[in-house]
Amino acid sequence: MPVIDHYPAIWQVVAKIPSGHVASYGQVARLAGLPGYARWVGRALNALPEDTRIPWHRVVNSAGRIALPSDSAAYRQQHYRLQQEGVEQRNDRYDLARYQWCP
């Protein structure tokens, strides 16, 4: 099945990440029933419209880093939003042991 067919499942999982927490791409993939397809999560998020209400900013990579170019507007947007939710970055990364969402 093509990726696009899985966008809904992926978005639904992301929609459940509570404020103040983050989830990794791989984690979202697994929860969406797509173990091993972390890249598809990135693809699905990239396909979201700019005015989406899906909290895409709560998804970071397994190292706790924002997976976008650090010089991009999207990176700053994600960083800002997480900060607004009380999720603080330390040395360019988020402490997963502290912020990762445990469903």
Give me the residues that bind DNA (CB under 7 A), please.
2-4, 24-27, 36-43, 45-46, 48, 56-57, 59, 61-63, 67-68, 74, 78
> For residue 38, what are its two tokens?
């972390």
How far is 98 from 5, CA to CA, in rounded Å?
A: 33
Q: Least CB distance from residue 33 to DNA, whole Å? A: 13
Q: Least CB distance from residue 67 to DNA, whole Å? A: 3
Q: Least CB distance from residue 38 to DNA, whole Å? A: 3
Q: Which amino acid is at 24?
A: S
How far is 57 from 54, CA to CA, in rounded Å?
A: 9
Nearest residue (CB) to DNA, 18 versus 70: 70
